[in-house]
Structure formats: C-alpha cells, structure tokens
Amino acid sequence: MSLGVSRAQIYKFLPNFSQSVQHFLERDGMEAVKELGNIIVRYKLHSRLAVCLVHTHFSLTESEILVEAEEIETGVKISSPWKLEDNKFIPWSTTNRTKIHQTMCILPNTWIFQGNGDLNPIEFEATENEINDDSLFPKEFVSSLTRSYLMLKQFSDVSVLGIRKYSNKSNHFRYETSRLEERANCTHIVSSMDKIPASKTIPTIWYFDDKCIPYPDMFCGACSI
C-alpha cells in the first residue's frame, strides 16, 4: 500500500460517476455493500472504515495522485491532483488555498479491490499524522475481505466498490461537488438531509452500526460547480 505504484495507471481505468452508478444498480450493488459491511463490523472497524462507491470526475496524469486537504477560507475539504516533484508530492497551483505545511504527510484514505482481491490505495489525504495506521487492516480482516470479494464478484460488480477511511462523528451529512475547471472535488457538510441539493441524492459512502445496518453518509450527483 505504498505510493510507489503508479496510481494514475489504476485511476484511469476507474468508471466515471454515471458508469459507476449504472453498474451498482444493475448488479445488486447494495447487497455487496452489506456483505462488506458485515466484515467491517465483525472486526469492530466500523467506527474507522466504511464502504464507498468508486468513481471519478476527471483524469490524472502519470505524475499525479488525488489528495484531500482542507481549504483555508471555507473549511471545505478539497480533493485535487498533487504532482510528484523531487520525490515529493506537492499541491498544484489552484490548491494553494488549502492548509498545507512542511510537517504534513500523505496517507491513503480510499482503497479498491484488484486482481485476486488485493487492496490498492487510489485516493489520499494530507495529514499531520506521520504514521500510516496499519491497524486499519489486520491480516485476518484483509483475508476475510478477499474471500468475500472473490465470492461477490461472481454476481455483483464489486469493482465499483471500495473501502474508505471513515471519521464522521458529528452526525452531519456530506455531499460532493466538482470544480471541473480546477479538477477538484469539494466535500460540503450540512446538518440535515433536506439541505442536500436535489441533484446530489445518490449515496457514495455507507457507514455501519454494530448491527451491520448501512447508513448513507456522502452523497453525489452529476458533475456541477
């Protein structure tokens, strides 16, 4: 799960939002969400991990990865491409508004299944936590996920589902918009569902309670400003 692999190579084969939703609805995606959630809860990781609908709104170049950081003026979390220069990933020019300083490091926050069930990171976050928290993926948990993935892929399009680091403890709701001219995704936080725009009503992240019941957390829709 290092940064050494070309994430752009993985990223360019991911479905866009419309394709991902279509695959999810056509191939019983919610049942796969529940099955993966059962495993997350079984290993008591449901306060730290969620299941997500993997999709893209724009492309990355070979030298870029998608990194989430907080915007200074608004507090909105922005996911945008960072470039590899001098063996370091740095924010490109339009993300200079985000809270970045020298002590921050980049860690994965979203993983997808590939091949025989291997988990590979595709999205990252800028954080002051210098230690990659391997306790998120204990060996037995990963083995259970792999077995479930291989079983689910026989009848469901698990390729559009991923595992997402989860830390929403505020009981608020989130939705995503895209600044396509900047290649940036923006996460907005609201206090109730009725404050989510009508065009952003498709769930893209599900978290779970200790009874394995899934709850939508992040919502999205067609690309918009």
With 90 as the cut, is the pLDDT of residue 183 above it?
no
> Which pLDDT belongs to residue 169?
60
With 60 as the cut, is the pLDDT of residue 94 above it?
no
Query: What is the mean predicted confidence (pLDDT) over 208-218?
Result: 94
User: Residue 225 domain-assigned?
Assistant: no
The span from the CA of 72 to the CA of 130, in Å, is 21
The span from the CA of 140 to the CA of 218, in Å, is 28
Tell me the pLDDT tens digit for each residue of 15-43. 999 999 999 999 889 999 999 999 999 99
Tell me the pLDDT tens digit for each residue of 98-114. 555 555 788 899 999 98
Query: What is the mean predicted confidence (pLDDT) over 158-187?
Result: 84
pTM of the model: 0.88
| Number of Cβ within a 10 Å radius of residue 166 | 23
> Which pLDDT belongs to residue 115?
83
User: Residue 2 domain-assigned?
Assistant: no
Tell me the pLDDT tens digit for each residue of 118-153. 899 999 998 877 666 678 899 999 999 999 999 998
With 80 as the cut, is the pLDDT of residue 73 above it?
no
User: Residue 150 domain-assigned?
Assistant: yes
Closest to 94 measured CA to CA, from 58, 128, 55, 52: 58
- Please tell me the total count of domains within the chain: 1
Mean of pLDDT over the chain? 83
User: Residue 1 domain-assigned?
Assistant: no
With 50 as the cut, is the pLDDT of residue 4 above it?
no
With 50 as the cut, is the pLDDT of residue 1 above it?
no
Burial of 182 per CB tally in 10 Å (0-12, 13-18, 19+): middle
With 80 as the cut, is the pLDDT of residue 170 above it?
no
Q: For residue 85, what pLDDT band results from cuts at 50, 70 and 90?
A: confident
The span from the CA of 1 to the CA of 3, in Å, is 7
Q: State the residue range of the domain holding 180.
A: 7-220
DSSP 46: T
Task: Calculate what percentage of the chain has a pLDDT beyond 90.
Answer: 41
